[in-house]
Amino acid sequence: APNETELKPSAGEYLAPLKRYLKEPDMYRVLLTMHTDNTGSDSYRDQLTLDRVESVFNWFEDSNADTRYLFDYAMSDDIPLEPNTSIDSRRKNRRLEVYLVPGKRMLEQAKKGRIAF
């Protein structure tokens, strides 16, 4: 929601499945990228986005996930999905994107032929 940094109670059902990618250290590196719409000043949007992504990161910590290979990044409004011309498009631009990057362990196993892509 606009100006909110607290996760909704239902957030866990969307975040919990991602915990499996943190179970084997450095098999994956999980990047959390938070986006927002273009309302408010640059500094306000930057801080809001940072606070939001930290809330997600903290959820993983509070859920006893191994966060050594979990990285959070605040994108602010730099990459909108849609023009910020309506309430609906601004809602779509406020989002979390999750990227799974092969970790060192996965790359080593791939070199040994233990992982097929």
Per-10-residue mean pLDDT of the chain, 117 residues long, equals 89 96 96 96 96 97 97 95 93 96 92 72
CA pair distance 108, 38, nearest whole angstrom: 42
Contacts of 76 (CB under 8 A, 6+ apart): 35, 36, 42, 45, 46, 49
Phi, psi of 104 (to 5 degrees): -60, -40
Residues pairing with 101 in the sheet: 29
Phi, psi of 24 (to 5 degrees): -95, 110
pLDDT given at position 117: 54
Per-residue pLDDT tens digits for 50-73: 999 999 999 999 999 999 999 999
